[in-house]
């Protein structure tokens, strides 16, 4: 087996079958991006519930619903490193070729490889270089930070959710800090990170939260008024007073 194949390979199995091994990979990060928002949940997957090609990844550190019907290739990539530690990942591509989301092994290569044993690869894939995006400074008063700062100041739990084609991932809890850095508004919790690019949000659209009579939902819009897939839910008495 070549070094290239060891580093990066396309798996033979359907995305739904690959996701079923997520509970055997140790601590994983499910990371998904859309519209300038990157939503990450981190920790072991406690439960996997499957119905046909739809799966739910659940537990203390995970809350994701995934419809795999629109997914294509699954690429196993062992090339990423943090210092001396390999951070292997599974990239789940849409049928258009773009990466919809990734599962990153936070415990390193050994438990990850043990967990995917039996999911063998096929053709080696050449890793494409990724050009770093230009980073703008987070301007004072950037509207993207408003609901997170409001929730932090009020000390009330909220739900932060990202939705994109075939994926819904959420985190619920109290926001401890909102940190602008490296061109992003960052909410950092032990089992959750949100990285929201500066200027990605033009305004928040307010609507009643159908899950609760006293709750509201804020939907992030870009400068063109288009929804970017990021939502914040919480008590109306807090979030509806965001201005």
Query: 73, 93, 124 — which closes off a domain?
Result: 124
Shared domain for 199 and 100, answered yes or no, is no
- Sole residue written with tokens 């519209």: 35
Read off the pTM.
Answer: 0.89
133, part of any domain? no
148, part of any domain? yes
Two structure tokens written together for 229: 């897939």
Shared domain for 7 and 56, answered yes or no, is yes
Write the CATH number for 78: 3.40.1570.10
Contact 114, 26 (CB under 8 A): no
3-state class of 1 per DSSP? coil
Shared domain for 9 and 38, answered yes or no, is yes
Two structure tokens written together for 96: 């258009």
Shared domain for 66 and 147, answered yes or no, is no
Shared domain for 114 and 164, answered yes or no, is no
> How crowded is residue 226: how many other Cβ atoms within 10 Å of its Cβ?
11
Shared domain for 9 and 117, answered yes or no, is yes
SS3 sequence of 193-242: EEEEECCCCCEEEEEECCCCCCEEEEEEECCCCCEEEEEEEEEHHHHCCC
3-state class of 135 per DSSP? coil
Q: How far apart are CA 136 and CA 56, in angstroms?
A: 35
Q: Which pLDDT score, from 0 to 100, does residue 213 have? A: 58
Shared domain for 115 and 169, answered yes or no, is no
Domain range holding 31?
A: 3-124
Total count of domains within the chain: 2
Shared domain for 118 and 26, answered yes or no, is yes
Write the CATH number for 161: 3.40.1570.20
Local mean pLDDT, 10-residue blocks, the chain (243 residues): 59 93 96 97 97 97 97 90 86 93 94 84 51 67 94 96 96 96 95 97 88 81 97 92 53
In the beta sheet, which residues pair with residue 71? 94
136, part of any domain? no
């Amino acid at each position: 087996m070549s070094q290239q194949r060891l580093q990066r390979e396309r798996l033979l199995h359907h995305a739904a079958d690959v996701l079923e091994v997520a509970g055997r990979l140790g601590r994983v990060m499910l990371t998904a991006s859309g519209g300038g928002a990157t939503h990450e949940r981190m920790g072991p997957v406690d439960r996997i519930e499957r119905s046909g090609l739809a799966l739910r990844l659940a537990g203390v550190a995970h809350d994701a619903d995934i419809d795999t019907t629109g997914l294509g290739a699954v690429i196993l990539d062992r090339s990423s490193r943090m210092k001396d530690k390999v951070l292997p990942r599974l990239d789940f591509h849409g049928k258009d070729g773009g990466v919809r989301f990734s599962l990153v092994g936070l415990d390193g290569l050994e438990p990850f490889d043990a967990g995917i044993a039996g999911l063998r690869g096929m053709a080696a894939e050449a890793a494409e270089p990724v050009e770093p995006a230009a980073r703008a400074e987070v301007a004072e008063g950037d509207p993207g930070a408003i609901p997170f700062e409001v929730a932090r100041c009020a000390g009330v739990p909220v739900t932060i959710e990202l939705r994109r084609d075939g994926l819904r991932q959420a985190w619920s809890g109290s926001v401890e800090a909102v940190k602008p850095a490296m061109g992003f508004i960052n909410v950092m919790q032990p089992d959750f990170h949100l990285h929201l690019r500066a200027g990605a949000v033009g305004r928040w659209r307010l609507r009643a939260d159908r899950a609760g009579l006293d709750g509201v939902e804020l939907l992030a819009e870009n400068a063109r008024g288009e929804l970017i897939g990021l939502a914040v839910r919480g008590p109306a008495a807090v979030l509806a007073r965001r201005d």
